[in-house]
Structure 1
Amino acid sequence: MREQSPRQQGPRPSRRHLLLGGAALAAGGLAAACTSNTEDGDSGGGNPQAGTLAGDNDKAGKQVTIGFSAPAADHGWIAAIAKNAEEQAKKYSDVTFKPVEPTNDINQQISAVESLIEAKVDVLVILPNDGEQLNQVGRKAMDAGVPVVNLDRVFPDHLSYRTWVGGDNYGMGVSAGHYIGKKLKDKGVADPVIVEIQGIATLPLTQDRSKGFADALKTYGFEVTAKQDAKFTVESGNQVASNLLQAHKKIDAIWNHDDDQGVGVLAAIKQSGRDEFFMVGGAGSANAMREIKAGGVLEATVTYSPTMASSAIKLARLIAQGKGMSDLVELQVPQSITLASETITKDNVDRYMPLGFES
């Protein structure tokens, strides 16, 4: 659930003013093999993030309708989720894609999902604003015989979903912690000032990221000096970074959980003129990759890929058609699939750049 930013004094920078488009993407997608069900084998669409198709599973089969619900695309990563889902569905001639109006209102999302259940869709793909608050409507769908592919923010009740697919939040923190810890250790920094800028502190995904970060830093004998949440927005990212820069006259490293709010973080850093530290981002947006390639305080970002939405559509289709994943021996789609978090640096950024998107 997107929370409102705290009241701030003075004008807050917009995306246009900050010049950088924000968002999050990463590498990776599901390794389930499939090929196009079109005659020429063309995967269709122009989105490089949408999964390629390979194997008999993607030959045209029973017609299925996939219902889709997600939060409003007021964040680059969420916008990419919706785009990936839609473009993946277009690849299949046997899929009817039925999205409902995206919303950040919990009750409206519940009502939208209920409308899909009443419409008797064959399968649902749901990225809930909040897994706990949407848990009961997921259970309602499952009880009605509509299998649910729970995307990203997990429902706490396993009876509320057939399959979960998402990123590795703990792994994001571990990847960021190892990059920062190793670099500081190699530089011989004994007591570093390490700052952490979270997303929404109350979300389990944020807590997992912070725990992974702390656990990885411990292996180097380091710990987080200060952390504050920036609510996944450019404006809050800018304000929080400004506050932290003022509070700490010397910083050795910053981990920012989210590249979209990182647009504001980077703007605050540039305005401050500070460059004594290095920074690691989170999720892998196109603008973050450009910053990494150009050189500067942002040296790396750890991935949390919106390609998971493409994978969710692929899995939903297989579940609705009673198929398993062609690369696995088992006859049914697994209950959970976690994508790896990779580290993008100047050394490998060109490999990841084609996966980037503009929010």
Structure 2
Amino acid sequence: MSKLGRRGFLFSGAVVGTAALATACTGNDPEASAPAAPAAAATGANDEPGAKVVIGFSAPAADHGWIAAIAKNAEATAGQYSDVEFKAVEPTNDINTQIAAVESLIAAKVNALVLLPNDGQQLNQIARKASDAGIPVVNLDRIFPDKLSYRTWIGGDNYGMGVAAGHYVGAKLKEKGVAKPVILEIQGIATLPLTQDRSKGFADALKTYGFTVTAQQAAQFTVQSGNEVTGNLLQAHKKIDAIWNHDDDQGVGVLAAIKEAGRTEFFLVGGAGSANAMREIQSGSSVLEATVTYSPTMASSAVKLARLIAQGKGMSDLVEHQVPQSITLASETITKDNVDTYLPLGFES
């Protein structure tokens, strides 16, 4: 079984959502006293060709499905626009090599830069250099600590992933009337803040149903570790009611271990929204019943945002004239009821 590389990224959401604006009525006559809702910014048809822009792109090497989909989505979205020249540098997992690659994009004077750093802390200074040079940086997923280093951040909601998984597990077990359920949690890399956020969200959501996690173990975001950890957990627990696996890439190994053991008395929830996980859900014959998103489609949205910023446009569905400074994508729950809608957005593990 092949081993996937460690995923050191911040780990569901698909497209950028906007909230409706409500105005309060303060007088007795609604028609006379209620202020009119402000009109959306006059940005025109944002997808219509505009000023030609060059968008630089840098990301880690595609050593697993999620990162591979990030690069693929970014390039595909840029290709949809005749006014965008997409200038991607060689992906790498070496910090110094990525810094040098971003240096080359700054020297090329790109109009905007979409940057998924290997490590936000270690690439903070090069992102700041780009920003200081007048190149707006769209910081993708792994955030830079210095807000002056980026124009806009877009990424997933790790805590929200845990909350979504916890509500699915909690509600189903409550509905089934299970008392004191055995709930297992298969993490990614336990020391990462993203993993800790996911675990906290999961625990907080389960608590609202009166449940707690029975046991948790880290699987390092790889197929091999996912297989080994799951095998150990299955041996240690003769009765299981539910399992949440943080990552659909490592979930390939998780599912293999479950099938090999022939265990079917529990249900499994995944994380990220891979295509193979969705196909398992779609089959209706798998213990995998749901997955919560941390979608690499965020790279597509990042390119769209970079284009708007470089062209001086805002988001036409918003009242404000500028692209927001921070966008956190929702973690959505995919089940057999909506899997057909989400499958086209899935990535291959």
**Per-residue displacement from partner, 1:266-292 (whole Å, max 9, x unpaired)?**
001111111221100011111111111
- Structure 2 matches for 1:305-344, cutoff 5 A? 305-344=295-334
Q: Which residue of 1 aligns with 2:344?
A: 354
Contiguous gaps of at least 5 residues in structure 1: 1-12, 17-24, 33-53
Q: Which residue of 2 aligns with 1:28?
A: 14
Alpha-carbon distance in 1 for matches of 2:143, 2:275:
26
Letter in structure 2 aligned against 1:30: V
Contiguous gaps of at least 5 residues in structure 2: 5-10, 19-42
TM-score by length of 1: 0.84
**Alignment partner for residue 67 of structure 1, among 48, 51, 56?**
56
**Alignment partner for residue 162 of structure 1, among 141, 146, 151?**
151
Q: Which residue of 2 aligns with 1:97?
A: 86
Confirm or deny that 1:207 pairs with 2:193: no
Q: Which residue of 1 aligns with 2:71?
A: 82
2:13–2:156 CA contact under 8 A, matched in 1: no
2:14–2:329 CA contact under 8 A, matched in 1: yes
Alpha-carbon distance in 2 for matches of 1:77, 1:277:
27
1:69–1:99 CA contact under 8 A, matched in 2: yes
SS of 1:197's equivalent in the other structure is: strand
**Alignment partner for residue 278 of structure 1, among 267, 271, 295?**
267
SS of 1:58's equivalent in the other structure is: coil
SS of 1:155's equivalent in the other structure is: coil
Alpha-carbon distance in 1 for matches of 2:45, 2:157:
29
Alpha-carbon distance in 1 for matches of 2:271, 2:208:
21
Q: Which residue of 2 aligns with 1:181?
A: 170
SS of 1:238's equivalent in the other structure is: helix
Letter in structure 2 aligned against 1:140: K
Q: CA deviation at 1:30?
A: 2.2
Confirm or deny that 1:115 pairs with 2:104: yes
TM-score by length of 2: 0.86
What RMSD, in angstroms, separates the aligned Cα atoms of the two structures? 1.9
Alpha-carbon distance in 2 for matches of 1:213, 1:157:
29
Letter in structure 1 aligned against 2:16: L
If you compute each CA radius of gyration, which structure gives the higher value, 1 or 2?
A: 2
Q: Which residue of 1 aligns with 2:7?
A: none
1:27–1:355 CA contact under 8 A, matched in 2: no
Alpha-carbon distance in 2 for matches of 1:214, 1:140:
40
Pairs aligned (count): 318
SS of 2:138's equivalent in the other structure is: strand
Confirm or deny that 1:236 pairs with 2:225: yes
SS of 1:164's equivalent in the other structure is: strand
Q: Which residue of 1 aligns with 2:27?
A: none
Q: CA deviation at 1:200?
A: 2.1
2:13–2:329 CA contact under 8 A, matched in 1: no
2:3–2:222 CA contact under 8 A, matched in 1: no
Could you tell me the percent identity over the aligned residues?
80
**Per-residue displacement from partner, 1:241-295 (whole Å, max 9, x unpaired)?**
1122222222211101111110010001111111221100011111111111222
SS of 1:59's equivalent in the other structure is: coil
Confirm or deny that 1:223 pairs with 2:212: yes
1:26–1:355 CA contact under 8 A, matched in 2: no
Q: CA deviation at 1:55?
A: 5.4
Q: Which residue of 1 aligns with 2:2?
A: 14
Alpha-carbon distance in 1 for matches of 2:103, 2:189:
27
1:29–1:305 CA contact under 8 A, matched in 2: no
Compare 257-266 and 58-67 and name the one that shifted more. Answer: 58-67
Alpha-carbon distance in 2 for matches of 1:354, 1:83:
14
Q: CA deviation at 1:67?
A: 0.7
Compare 347-356 and 215-224 and name the one that shifted more. Answer: 347-356
Alpha-carbon distance in 2 for matches of 1:356, 1:249:
33
Q: CA deviation at 1:233?
A: 1.3
Q: Which residue of 2 aligns with 1:248?
A: 237
- Structure 2 matches for 1:250-269, cutoff 5 A? 250-269=239-258
**Alignment partner for residue 296 of structure 1, among 283, 286, 289?**
286
